[in-house]
Amino acid sequence: MEDGDKDILTCQEYCPNFKNIKELKNKELSEDIIQKLAATFKVLGDPTRIKIINILANKELCVCDISELLDMTQSAISHQLRKLRDLNLVKYRKEGRVVYYSLDDHHILQLFNQGLEHVMEDN
């Protein structure tokens, strides 16, 4: 198959490998984990939230700073941050009347960087 060929190929004869099937059945994820992972990828599927993750990958910032960087209202940014926070993708801390956001942990940065590396390969 050539690189430009995007046809989906299937087996011409139905011949499942039951040894592989049995081995992989034991490695299936629980439904709860599948749902959580799907929700995480769904939340990350929004361009504004990707921009926020990219910004926070570089520096902890307050909502005002993120708002200015993305030229959006604080309310709109807060709405997006809430979705990210609900899935433990970002965390916050208060300093007086200012709320600072950062990535929740190093896994979020790894996930973002892996996705970025993947799409940059095609460019």
Q: Is residue 10 part of a domain?
A: no
Residue 111 has pLDDT above 70, yes or no: yes
Distance (Å, whole) CA 58 – CA 4: 36
Structural domain including 117 reads: 29-121
Angle of CA points 30, 118, 9, to nearest 5°: 70
Q: Is residue 104 part of a domain?
A: yes
What is the edge-to-edge ordering of all strands in the sheet holding 61-62? 61-62, 98-103, 90-95
Domain of residue 113, CATH code: 1.10.10.10
- % of the chain at pLDDT higher than 90: 76
Decide: 84 and 43 in contact? Cβ < 8 Å: yes
pLDDT for 5: 63
Q: Is residue 20 part of a domain?
A: no
Q: What is the mean pLDDT of residues 80-109?
A: 96
Domain count, the chain: 1
Name which of 33, 27, 29, 85 is nearest 56 in CA terms. Answer: 85
Name which of 80, 72, 123 is nearest 101 in CA terms. Answer: 80
Q: Is residue 34 part of a domain?
A: yes
Q: Is residue 96 part of a domain?
A: yes
Residue pointed to by tokens 């629980």: 30
Q: Is residue 24 part of a domain?
A: no
Q: Is residue 60 part of a domain?
A: yes
Q: What is the mean pLDDT of residues 8-15?
A: 85
Q: Is residue 82 part of a domain?
A: yes
Q: Residue 3: pLDDT band by 50, 70, 90 thresholds? A: low
